[in-house]
Amino acid sequence: MDKTHLRKVLNWDACKECGQCLANCRYIHLPASDAVREIKNLNQGNTSFILENCISCYACNTFCPNNAHPYERILFAMKERYDTDGLPKRASYLLPGRRPNFREDLTYDPAEKALHTRWNTDTPPAKTVLYPGCNLLSMPLLATGKVFEKLPVWGRWDLCCGEMYFRTGLLDKAEETAHKLTRFYSTKDIKEMVFVCPACYNMFTIVLPQQFGARFNFKTTFFTDWFLQEIENGTFDIKETLTGSVVIHDSCHGRILGNSFMEKQRQLLKRLGLEVNETQLNRDKGLCCGMAAGAKKFSVMDLIKNAMRQLIALDRSKGKETAIYCTGCLLMFSTVRPLRPFGKKMRHFLEYIRKALGEDVTRKNTPRALSIFKGITLHSVPFYFSSKKIKL
C-alpha cells in the first residue's frame, strides 16, 4: 500500500495544514504554530514529533474540519517505519494470529470453551448473527441468556477484524484482512451482522470497505440499535427497571462513529432506568482507555499510564458505577484497576441489559484481565530492552 493509493482512500489532498487536528489533541498539547509545523512534516514524510508521542487515540480525525484523515497520516508514517525497521520483538505476543498471543492462549473454563466451539461453525446459525470479535471471545460468558437465543453468536479467532493491524500502522496486513474477510463472507448467507464491539463495527462498516476495499453483502448494525428496536418490537420484556447512577466511558471508535452513535448508548442506559453522568472531558474530547497507547512502542508503561489517567477521571466523576460499551475498554481498565483498587465498579452494557431482563451474569473481566497482564509480563516484558526486530 503506497501513498498513491492512500491519496484516493484517505482524501489526502483535502488537508489544508491548518493544524486543528493536532492543536486539539488532549495528550500532546501543541501550540497552534507547532501543530501546523508537525502536520506539514507528516504530509511531507519528514521526521515528526507526533510519531513518537501520539498515543493512537484516533480523535484527531474528529477535530479535522476537512475530513483529511490526519490519524491515517500518522499510521502511514508508522507503516513506513515498520517497512524499514520492523517491529520490536516484544510486539509478537500482542498481535493477532501470532502464537502465543495475549488473548487466544489464556485458560478458558469448560463453559467458555463450549461457547467457543458452538460459535465456530462453517454455516451461520441464522440470517442475523452477532460477530463476537476478539474481546468478546475473551469474555464469552457475557454473550449468554435470552438475548443470544434470539441473536446467535457466530465467529472465531481467525476472523479478526484487523483493528490491531490498523492501529499499529500495519496497513498491508489490514488490507490482507479486508480481502480475507471479503472472500470468507461472500459465500455465507447472512442478512445482517450485529456488533457488540465498536471497534469491530467501525472496521466492518467504515475502515475495511472505504480504505482497504472490503465488500460485504450484509447489513452492519451496532448492538444498541438492534436491541432498542427489539424492545420496541416487544421481543424482550424489561423485568427490572434499574436504579442508580453511572458515569459513561466512550470508546475511541465511538467518537469516530459520531455524536449520534454516542448519544444512542446513553439512551439505552436511560431506557433501562439509569441516571447517566459524564466525565469532565467527554464525547469527542474524551480520553482513551489506553489500549491503543501501546501501538507506538508496545510499552506496558504507556498502556498503564494512559489507562490510569481515564480511570482516575471516571472515578472522580458523578455516578456510582462506570458503564462501558466496549469490551476492549473493559478489559483494559480491569487490567489496571488493581493499581487503583477502591474506585467504581465497572460494568459492560450487556451486564446491565441482562440484569434488566432478570438474568445473573458471571463476571470474568477481572480474572481475565489479570491473566492477560500475567501473559504480557511473561512473554512480552522480557524483550522490552531487546534490539531484536520481527516482521510479519
Query: Same domain, yes or no, for 244 and 226?
Result: no
What is the pLDDT at residue 98?
A: 84
Nearest to 363 by CA among 337, 388, 389: 337
Q: How many domains does the chain have?
A: 3
27: containing domain: 3-85
End-to-end distance of the chain based on CA atoms, in angstroms? 15
- Ranges of the chain with pLDDT below 50: none
- C-alpha R_g of the chain: 20
297-329 burial code (b ≥16 CB/10 A, e <16): ebbbebbbebbbbbbebbbebebebbbbbbbbb
What is the pLDDT at residue 298?
A: 85
- Is 381 part of any domain? no
The DSSP result for 330-347, as a single string, is HHHHHHHGGGSTTS-EEE
What is the pLDDT at residue 137?
A: 96
Nearest to 49 by CA among 64, 31, 34: 34
Query: Same domain, yes or no, for 102 and 64?
Result: no
d(CA 49, CA 295): 16
Query: Same domain, yes or no, for 64 and 27?
Result: yes
What is the pLDDT at residue 231?
A: 94
What is the pLDDT at residue 316?
A: 97
- Is 187 part of any domain? yes
| Sign, Cα dihedral of 139, 142, 145, 148 | negative
pLDDT digits (tens, 9 = 90+) for 314-323: 999 999 999 9
Q: Which of 200, 230, 260 is the last residue of a domain?
A: 230
100 preceded by a cis bond (ω within 30 of 0): yes
Query: Same domain, yes or no, for 17 and 68?
Result: yes
Nearest to 328 by CA among 161, 97, 80: 161
What is the pLDDT at residue 4?
A: 72
Query: Same domain, yes or no, for 346 and 252?
Result: yes
pLDDT digits (tens, 9 = 90+) for 299-353: 888 889 999 999 999 999 999 999 999 999 999 999 999 999 999 999 999 999 9
DSSP H helices in 45-127: 49-53, 60-63, 70-85, 110-119
Nearest to 371 by CA among 97, 104, 98: 104
**Cell 497482564 maps to which residue?**
373
260: exposed, middle or buried (Cβ count in 10 Å: 0-12, 13-18, 19+): exposed
Q: How many residues does the chain have?
A: 392
User: Does residue 153 sit in helix, strand or coil?
Assistant: strand
What is the pLDDT at residue 2?
A: 65
pLDDT digits (tens, 9 = 90+) for 135-181: 999 999 999 999 999 999 999 999 999 999 999 999 999 999 999 99
- Is 377 part of any domain? no
Query: Same domain, yes or no, for 241 and 282?
Result: yes
Q: Which of 61, 85, 109 is the last residue of a domain?
A: 85
What is the pLDDT at residue 253?
A: 97
Query: Same domain, yes or no, for 95 and 223?
Result: yes
pLDDT digits (tens, 9 = 90+) for 68-82: 999 999 999 999 889
- Is 385 part of any domain? no
